[in-house]
A = this chain, B = another copy of it.
């Protein structure tokens, strides 16, 4: 599987999932770099690199010396962006792969029923 995913991307996903699941809302203070690093058993710089991805996407506002806060409308924006990316970029490839190996959507719906 894709278990070789870099740590900083895993951390990014962890935070993103928390935001999408409603654990962090707009204006909330995210865990500090060191605190989150200690909690996850990772290096502070690796966490910082993950947080930097949120900055580049305008999802957090940085208050140096204080911490990182979830930006206004960030949760909704994140969700919308992920939807766009999934539908336009990810799903087409999945669809191609499914056709190739002979798996239909109906098969998948069926496999969820147990």
Contacts and interface: CB of A to CB of B under 8 A. Distances in A.
Given A21-B100, A94-B94, A87 B105 contact: no
Given A102-B79, A105-B105, A111 B97 contact: no
Contacts of A111: 87, 91
A56 interface: no
Interface in A90-114: 90-91, 94-95, 97-98, 100-103, 105, 107-109, 111-112
A93 to B, nearest CB: 8
A112 to B, nearest CB: 7
A20 interface: yes
Nearest to A79: B101
A28 interface: no
23 contacts: A1-B89, A1-B90, A17-B100, A20-B100, A20-B101, A79-B101, A79-B102, A82-B100, A82-B101, A83-B101, A83-B102, A83-B103, A86-B97, A86-B101, A86-B103, A87-B103, A87-B108, A87-B111, A91-B108, A91-B111, A94-B94, A95-B112, A105-B105
